[in-house]
Amino acid sequence: MSLKKDKQKVIDEVLDESHLRSFFSLRPPEGVNADYNILERAYRGMTADYFAGFLELFVAAGHDINAQNPDGKTILMVVSGHQQAGEYIEVLRQHGAVV
């Protein structure tokens, strides 16, 4: 049996505003808040610098930075449990995220 190769890590990828805005069209799984889904996917797919720029667009577009997942947690609550999320936590707070 052959195993799939791991995806190659993309280094120095440039995300322009159009790419950042493309996250707004992501559709959540059933039972998941759309804004929470967008935030989680952006957090998992962006460096802290790109995430900061994304949050500017996200908030300006009227999305809810304090949207909750099915467990009642905001993205800030979830990210706060990650060891290397300091920069993400900082930019989330700067944009109005609360615990």
Q: How is the chain split into domains, by residue range?
A: 17-23+31-94
pLDDT of residue 10: 46
Q: Is 82 exposed, middle or buried (0-12, 13-18, 19+ CB in 10 A)?
A: exposed
Distance CA 62, CA 78 (A): 22
Residue with the larger pLDDT of the pair 98 and 14: 98
Cα–Cα separations (whole angstroms), residue 78 to 3, 11, 55, 95, 98:
32, 26, 16, 16, 11
- CB-based burial, 33-62: b 16+ in 10 Å, e otherwise: bebbbbbbebbeebeeebbbbbbeebeeee
Instruction: Provide the pLDDT confidence category of residue 71 given band limits of 50, 70 and 90.
Output: very high
Instruction: Provide the pLDDT confidence category of residue 8 given band limits of 50, 70 and 90.
Output: very low
Instruction: Name which of 5-19, 28-42, 55-69, 72-86 the model is least confident about.
Output: 5-19
| Mean pLDDT, the chain, whole residue set | 86
Residues 6+ apart with CB under 8 A from 64: 33, 35
